[in-house]
Amino acid sequence: MTNPAIEARNLSAGYGKQAVIRNINIVVNPGEVVALLGSNGAGKTTTMLSLAGELSPLEGEVLIDGKPTKAPLHVRAKQGMSYVTEEKSVIMGLSTRDNLRVAKADVDEALRLFPSLDKRISVAGGSLSGGEQQMLTLARALGRHPKILLADELSMGLAPLIVQRLLQAVREAADTRGTGVLLVEQHVRQALKYADRAYVMRRGVVELEGTAKELASRIDDIEATYFAGAKA
């Protein structure tokens, strides 16, 4: 049996001694797209930071390819992790082409994934639309052919068609290259169309998990319980 690409085991973490996320158990297998869902403040980003090596566990551990690790992000990146944070990773003063090159991403492959970037290839990152910047961000992250992709709110504030294109690209990386993907998404319904499984967090713990199909079949219920009016 292959090891999970990445796993959190009984993980607790926070920004001081106080845990913000508690006893988190998450598994992402190679070739799987897994969604991490929950309202604002539920602890999704804190979980991602811990998996990425940016935040040390207070308890529990993170395993990569079955081995416990305490390595910082730059080491995990060398071992094949791409981490797309909530901040955009586009270099504003460089063209689309140069953004891809400095990320060591293949330009042709990026254009195949996102054909609409073709006519924007010489345009500076800072002049791209929000959707184009996020396509470029994802193309940069996937262009390195990571074993693990952690993506936090990749499609925030974008139009449905662009959300779909981003999710399709992630799905393709999982299917064709065996990338293990963990995706924080506010577009819950769309995410469940592309994910294999999902975890739903509330108040720092995982309260619900299941296959995407199973969760999608009771989406109204789940939205009412975990997302409705929960912006605060």
Ligand X SMILES: Nc1ncnc2c1ncn2[C@@H]1O[C@H](COP(=O)(O)OP(=O)(O)O)[C@@H](O)[C@H]1O
Nearest CB to ligand X, comparing residues 46 and 155: 46
Q: How far is the CB of 120 from ligand X (least distance, A)?
A: 30
- Between CA 207 and CA 230 the distance in angstroms is 15
Tell me: does residue 46 bind ligand X (CB under 6 A).
Answer: yes
- Between CA 113 and CA 165 the distance in angstroms is 9
Q: How far is the CB of 36 from ligand X (least distance, A)?
A: 8
Nearest CB to Mg ion, comparing residues 45 and 82: 45
User: What DSSP element (H or E) covers 198?
Assistant: strand 197-202
What is the number of the residue whose Cβ is closest to Mg ion? 45
Tell me: does residue 20 bind ligand X (CB under 6 A).
Answer: yes
- The two tokens of residue 153 are 């709110």
How far the first Cα of the chain sits from its last, in Å, is: 42
Q: How far is the CB of 103 from ligand X (least distance, A)?
A: 25
Positions touching Mg ion (CB under 5 A) are 44-45
Classify the C-alpha dihedral 2-55-24-210 as positive or negative. Answer: negative
DSSP state of 119: G
Which does residue 38 touch among Mg ion, ligand X, none (CB within 5 to 8 A, set by kind)?
ligand X
Nearest CB to Mg ion, comparing residues 80 and 130: 130
Residue 112: count other Cβ atoms within 10 Å of its Cβ.
Answer: 13
Site string for ligand X, 83-122 (x = CB under 6 A): ----------------------------------------
- Buried/exposed code over 165-177 (b: 16+ C-beta within 10 A; e: otherwise): bbbebbbbbbeee
Positions that interact with ligand X (CB under 6 A): 15, 20, 38, 40-46
